[in-house]
């Protein structure tokens, strides 16, 4: 009986100290440090208990069963690109991914565990062409993009496209591409950032004292980015619209239109802010075809 099993798990976990629970994490990885998401949300079956997630969120959005508010959704240029180096710098992982693609790809790229060889071959060809994985810059680039697209970038693309079709409020889509003096991934040799990685946008919104020194108020490119990023969110928090107001002169030249299904604009945040269209849709096309949904 599922209720008995859940109750037994609950009673067991209550007896465990936090260090034992936290220390068990490494035992859940199956390939290096993959999968990245060890525990993911699930739609809870109804056994008479209180449920948190009662249906697929995509269905909730399409059916309007959501708390619709103005929405900003973002991804970085590099997302989880650095995970490629874990594979490329470990000969065992590299050889295993190369020779056992059908087994490893679902683990590393959060795909269905029973995924077909045909779909997995299509993804491999899209990111690596007809070549085997090699320890070179082309493979590093393709593998880095595949990790980032699978874990974050394509899901963000899907979320933005769903929301702009079904929300009654504006949706603002953005790509964070700024590479400053700090990053959650730095080249191990030069000790310098090489690409805007996952979380790097937060460096310019918050004081991340666990890892980075506070950005000085001096007139540097990083401090200017702090001023512009915090102004965007200040306006959005006040008005549901990130565009400039009279007291946010840092954004004087910004004109950021909301995304619509037919005008899929996004703001590229780099040293200069530019409005562009159709973010990485040439890359995401293969995902949309392999895993089609109703938008």
pLDDT reported for residue 291: 96
Residue 289 has pLDDT above 80, yes or no: yes
Q: Which H helix or E strand runs over 267? A: strand 265-269
pLDDT value of residue 138: 94
pLDDT of the residue at 293 = 94
Query: pLDDT for 259-286, tens place per residue?
Result: 999 999 999 999 999 999 999 999 999 9
Rg of the chain taking only CA atoms, in angstroms: 21
**CATH for 2-290, among 3.90.105.10, 3.40.50.1820, 3.40.50.150, 3.40.190.10?**
3.40.50.1820
- Calculate the alpha carbon distances from 113 to 38, 85, 106, 158 in Å: 14, 24, 5, 21
3-state secondary structure of 204: helix
Instruction: Say if residues 269 and 176 touch (Cβ distance below 8 Å).
Output: yes
Q: Which residues contact 46 (CB under 8 A, 6 or more apart)?
A: 54
> Left (φ > 0), alpha (ψ -120 to 50) or beta: where does 64 sit?
left
pLDDT band at 120 (very low <50, low <70, confident <90, very high): very high
Does the pTM surpass 0.85? The reply is yes
Q: At residue 1, does pLDDT exceed 80? A: no
CA-based max dimension of the chain:
64
Place 176 in a pLDDT band, splitting at 50, 70 and 90. very high
DSSP letters of 198-236? Answer: TTGGGGGTS--TTTSPPPPSSS-HHHHHHHHHHHHHHHH
Q: Please state the domain extents for the chain.
A: 2-290
């Amino acid at each position: 009986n599922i209720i008995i099993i859940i109750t037994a798990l609950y009673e067991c976990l209550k007896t465990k100290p936090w260090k034992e629970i936290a220390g068990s994490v490494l035992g859940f990885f199956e390939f290096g440090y993959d999968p990245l998401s060890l525990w993911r949300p699930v739609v809870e079956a109804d056994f008479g208990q209180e449920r948190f997630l009662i249906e697929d969120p995509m269905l909730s959005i399409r059916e309007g069963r959501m708390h619709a508010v103005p929405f900003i959704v973002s991804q970085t240029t590099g997302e989880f690109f650095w995970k490629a180096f874990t594979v490329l710098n470990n000969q065992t992982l590299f050889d295993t991914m190369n020779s056992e693609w059908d087994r490893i790809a679902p683990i590393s790229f959060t795909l269905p565990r029973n995924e077909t060889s045909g779909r997995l071959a299509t993804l491999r060809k899209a990111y690596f062409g007809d070549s085997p994985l090699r320890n070179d810059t082309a493979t590093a680039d393709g593998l880095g993009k595949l990790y980032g697209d699978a874990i974050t970038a394509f899901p963000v693309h899907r979320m933005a496209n769903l929301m702009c079709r079904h929300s009654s409020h504006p949706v603002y889509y953005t790509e964070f591409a700024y590479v400053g003096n700090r990053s959650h991934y730095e080249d191990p040799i030069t000790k310098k950032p090489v690409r805007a990685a996952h979380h790097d946008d937060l460096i310019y919104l918050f004081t991340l004292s666990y890892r980075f020194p506070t950005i000085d108020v001096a007139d540097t490119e990083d401090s200017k980015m702090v001023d512009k990023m915090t102004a965007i969110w200040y306006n959005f928090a006040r008005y549901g619209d990130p565009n400039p107001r009279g007291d946010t002169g840092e954004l004087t030249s910004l004109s950021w239109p909301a995304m619509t299904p037919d005008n899929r604009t996004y703001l590229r945040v780099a040293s200069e802010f530019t409005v562009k269209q159709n973010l990485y849709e040439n890359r995401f096309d293969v995902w949309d075809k392999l895993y089609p949904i109703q938008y």
